[in-house]
Amino acid sequence: MKAQWRNLDRDDQLTFRAAFAFLKGRLDERPTVEWALHLKPGQIIERMALCELLDGPGNEPLREPWANAWRMIREGWNGEVPDNQYSTASYDFQRSLQDGDRSGDIISLITTHVAPKLKVEPISDWKMRLAKTPRRPTTYQHLIHTSLTSGDHIDLSVLKLSEISEPAFLGALANSLDAAVNCGLDIARRSGWQDSPQMWRLGELRRVYYVGLSLRERHENDPDSHNIGIAPSVKFLHAVVSRMAELRPESAVPFLRRWLTHSSPIHIRLWAALARISMVDGGFSRRCGKKPVGHEPQAVLGSKFVSRDR
């Protein structure tokens, strides 16, 4: 967020100056961090005052862990997901697609909707007590709690993905979703996740594919129906690449190869789930000069990882 306080009207400038004066010299205090974490998206003037203190002329460099905590707070502001904004998103996207929209704009809108973003919150009281947070913080995790958030899941029964047949559009959408998943994993790594099988830092992911097509079926059967964070982008990515494989099996091969080279459990689970599809298996095997990969996921992952997506 770039502070543009000089463009504010007179009353808002007075509010800005008061907030600026109050906060000056207090950015390395826990109460200031907690106050900032409780600011609502509409409290733009207060956020501007903080940004001006952090970036403006004459700002004093902050020591760690305060500097990193403020960077993450601002990143969280930039990626905020407003409450209830996306309840009709699948219908909005479907109308655009039904009207023939295959533009980069609709790809960006869909990707932004499911893309994982950083969420920064105050540390809960019970975590403070359980972790025995020190009075003098030595890491940003003593000051803030970070996790992944996102919009809700795409409803495949509404979007009618099975009726989209343009390979170029599907490929562009899959590439955009793949990049969003990678970005989400990078955010999680900055927040302390180390490519471990534990998915709680990512918002949980029990299956990398949809269980049931309709919203009702998913609420009844899909263990990720209420999970946000990494799940919406991963599951929709799998659905889009699966649709590509239905139309042209060889078009899914680059994604399989790319996922297989990644070290993250998310990518290997995606590869394992898609490699079981016989229409993809043959094309992948021929291009890689190897035997069919139908039984390879278990050898690569071990039974405990493969079983998550059965």
CA–CA distance, 143 with 110 (Å, rounded to integer)? 33
Predicted pLDDT of residue 121: 95
Predicted pLDDT of residue 306: 47
Residues 172 and 267 in one domain: yes
Predicted pLDDT of residue 134: 81
Task: State which amino acid sits at residue 157.
Answer: S
Partners of residue 146 on adjacent β-strands: 120
Those residues of the chain that have pLDDT short of 70 are: 1-3, 82-86, 131, 213-220, 278-308, 310
Residues 54 and 97 in one domain: no
Residues 38 and 120 in one domain: no
**Strands (E) located in the chain:** 117-121, 145-149
Predicted pLDDT of residue 133: 75
The two three-digit tokens of residue 232, written as one number: 């919406």
Residues 143 and 289 in one domain: yes
Question: Residue 72 falls within a domain, yes or no?
Answer: no
CA distances from 282 to 10, 17, 154, 250, 251 (A): 68, 66, 29, 9, 12
**For residues 115 and 85, is the Cβ–Cβ distance under 8 A?**
no
Residues 42 and 183 in one domain: no
Residues 39 and 112 in one domain: no
**For residues 114 and 151, is the Cβ–Cβ distance under 8 A?**
yes
CA–CA distance, 293 with 282 (Å, rounded to integer)? 8
**For residues 184 and 148, is the Cβ–Cβ distance under 8 A?**
yes
Residues 58 and 93 in one domain: no
Domain span at residue 110 reads 89-309
Coil, helix or strand at residue 254 = helix
Which pLDDT tens digit goes with each residue over 224-278? 988 999 999 999 999 999 999 999 999 999 999 999 898 899 999 999 999 877 5
Predicted TM-score of the model (pTM): 0.85
Predicted pLDDT of residue 16: 92
Predicted pLDDT of residue 271: 94
Q: Report the number of distinct structural domains present in the chain.
A: 2
Angle 265-275/278-288 helices, nearest 10 degrees?
A: 110
**For residues 116 and 230, is the Cβ–Cβ distance under 8 A?**
yes
Coil, helix or strand at residue 26 = coil
- The CA dihedral of 244, 250, 251, 254, to the nearest 10 degrees, is 130
Residues 150 and 47 in one domain: no
Predicted pLDDT of residue 283: 54
Predicted pLDDT of residue 299: 41
Coil, helix or strand at residue 229 = coil
